[in-house]
Amino acid sequence: MPGHRMIVGDSPAARLRPAGADGDLAVVARCHRRLRGPYTGVDTVLRAVLPEAARRWPELVEHHRVELLYGMPEFAELIGPAPRTLAGESSFKERTRFFGAGMIRCMSQGIVSFLLDYARRVRSCGELPAYLVFDEVDQAEPTTQEFIALLVRRADPAQLRVVVCAAPGELPEELAQVLARHTERIDAGPSDGGDRGDGAHPGGRPRSAVELAEAYVLGDGTGSDPAELLAYQQADPELRARLHDLRADELEQASPSWGVRVGALAYHREHGSDRAGAGRLALLAAQRYCVEVGFSAAVIDLGLRGRLVTDPNVDQHDFWEFTHQAAAACIPVGRTVQSMELYLDVIQRFTDPKVHMMTSYSIAMLHTRFLQPRDHDLALRWQNNAVAIAGILPDPAERLTFSVFHDNGLALVEMHRGNLARSLELVESCMARLDAKLTDEQWRLHRSQLLYNRARLLTATGRLDEAFADYSTLIDLDPYYTDYLSERARIHRVRGDFAAALADYDRAVRLAPPFPELYYNRGTARAEAGDDKGALADFGYVLEMEPDDVDTRLARAEMLLESEEFDAAEADVAAGLALRPDEPRLLCMRGTVALQRGALTEAYQALSSALDLDPGYPAALINRAVVHYQQDRYQAAVQDLTATLGLIGDDPDVLLNRGIAYQAEGQLDLALADFDRALTLPGADVAELREQRERCGA
């Protein structure tokens, strides 16, 4: 069975010929970002398979409804509307909950799961599944590039074959690594005329310079004919602008989807005759849509482009919005330095109190949540500034809503500073002020966020019954925001009610896209409830989606180790180390598996390697102490156990083991002291300690 392929060539014709893209079973998707922005190409594939999937397996489509519609709402015409959520129904003005690249990755994982399940079902019916050809991947928006990486890594080519086509050049790191590991690379030869470099008509008549430039614009700036590109670049600027205006008008008359508005339409208005007017507004509308969905990379791109066409003196608010949204979107993609630079830029440019208020808040959040090391005191200074400005705004309605918003931000900073009582006081004050002044329908999303914050603070302060009631209210209010179910499940677990916890996790799994954390949490709950098979299934799905998830890798390896499936546990750890060779927890687990198998030399090497990377890792110290003890190096065992106690404080089991090592070394007084100390501690193994004490005394 042929595997996945990576085809590199200068032109689509050259790339698609070896891809076999002219066959009946191929779905060919152009992925150039200028066409429809994020998910360009993904939408082509889904449009090809969704009608049949909805007809034959409606339950499959229903299971993935959230993720199929989340970034491509136009598919509601094929499968019906998306579930209603508070965030989705809130106006942009009242949105205080935004998502980012992490949410989009989760949605992409759900779409991949849908396609894989669909392909398996087609294959099980004895049919040949379509294979997917993604072209122009080098020009794809990062969301599509990430999606393709996930699909290629997860897809079994015997069920669903993927062909990735791109021009020569660098690709994003994750995609490049996946393609190197999972595809056969083919270098395509030169084009045989499918992309005419001579600029001629298909019939052979030469095209004029204007025709060539017009063709480039009609192709939304995605054409690969060098003659078209050259003619466009050399055309009179007024002609270029007029061609962009005509193409933009044509697109608008066709009632474009949001993808077209983010991609082609924004591009043409941006390069048309009214860049600072129509171009600015088109980019702003596109950015706002991407902000609401969580397309972080697109938000940054649109924001930086928007800044270039916006006069900060004439359209200060729009310039600030482009900058502010781009800066916020930098955070989930790890570009915190750029985020801070953009925030400081607008503070330096403008004296508007609202700009300083909102930017102070954003900088405070950077310091308290994202920058390393975190600086909660510096965050407090910035947030106090935001609170102070909000409190003197002249409009009473704005003063109320902004004061509440920024007091809520202050509560977060205080929580991080350890002042839980003060944080809870602030949140409850915010809730009371809004309840007193607003109707039930006003600012519903933000009020739900305040209730959520109160529930988390109640949990942190041990008031579980009150927190449970708040989470239950939130679940009724916004059932598709499944964080509430996960938080309530956590309270069930603290109470020891695993059946109720699993019921909440199961409901969240049915309603939500495949959040790895959700499946990991349900897996750990299943393990605690004795459902090893279910736990392993959840851990397996997490690792299928995110193979470098160390917590899940360790949890599954530990389960396999406990059931003495040493080979499977060792294979799991080896797979993790192949992705993260310097992860001390994985090295410690490798040493633990070797210790259980009696391979003491191998165990010692792995545990020592873990401690070289993290000298303060208690599990590695404890297990290496066992290796020392079993190889009669009692003093070394005592040293590792003493170091462990220095890290974690008095622990009855560690004291027991150190006492045994002291006893083997002949230091009986020290052994008795450890046994006696351990007997005073909660959780001590009293019977074992007394037996060891008697043995030591004898």
Question: Of the candidates 140, 152, 142, which has an alpha carbon nearest to the alpha carbon of residue 101?
Answer: 142
Distance, CA of 432 to CA of 454 (rounded, Å): 12
Structure tokens at 536: 């392993």
Any domain includes 301? no
Distance, CA of 396 to CA of 689 (rounded, Å): 68
Place of tokens 């198998």: 597
Any domain includes 149? yes
Distance, CA of 191 to CA of 310 (rounded, Å): 41
Any domain includes 173? yes
Question: Given phi > 0 = left and psi -120 to 50 = alpha, else beta, which region is 39?
Answer: left
Q: What is the pLDDT of residue 562?
A: 94
Residues in the chain: 698
Radius of gyration (Cα) for the chain, nearest Å?
30
Any domain includes 460? no
Q: What is the pLDDT of residue 21?
A: 59
Q: What is the pLDDT of residue 91?
A: 80
Largest CA distance in the chain: 107
- In 10 A of CB 398, how many CB atoms? 12
Any domain includes 152? yes
Q: What is the pLDDT of residue 225?
A: 92
Q: Residue 103: which domain range? A: 5-192
Task: Encode 563-600 in three state secondary structure.
Answer: CCCHHHHHHHHHHHHHHCCCCHHHHHHHHHHHHHHCCH
Distance, CA of 67 to CA of 55 (rounded, Å): 19
Q: What is the pLDDT of residue 58?
A: 97
Q: Which residues of the chain have pLDDT under 70?
A: 1, 21-24, 190-204
- Provide the CATH number for the domain around residue 151: 3.40.50
Any domain includes 24? yes
Q: How many domains does the chain have?
A: 1
Yes or no: say if 13 and 190 are a contact pair by the CB < 8 Å rule.
Answer: no
Distance, CA of 8 to CA of 369 (rounded, Å): 42
Task: Encode 329-353 in three state secondary structure.
Answer: HHCCCCCHHHHHHHHHHHHHHCCCH
Q: What is the DSSP letter of 206?
A: B
Any domain includes 219? no
Structure tokens at 118: 């669909």
Q: What is the pLDDT of residue 200?
A: 58
Any domain includes 576? no
| Integer angstrom CA distances of residue 254 from 248, 249, 260, 275 | 10, 9, 10, 22
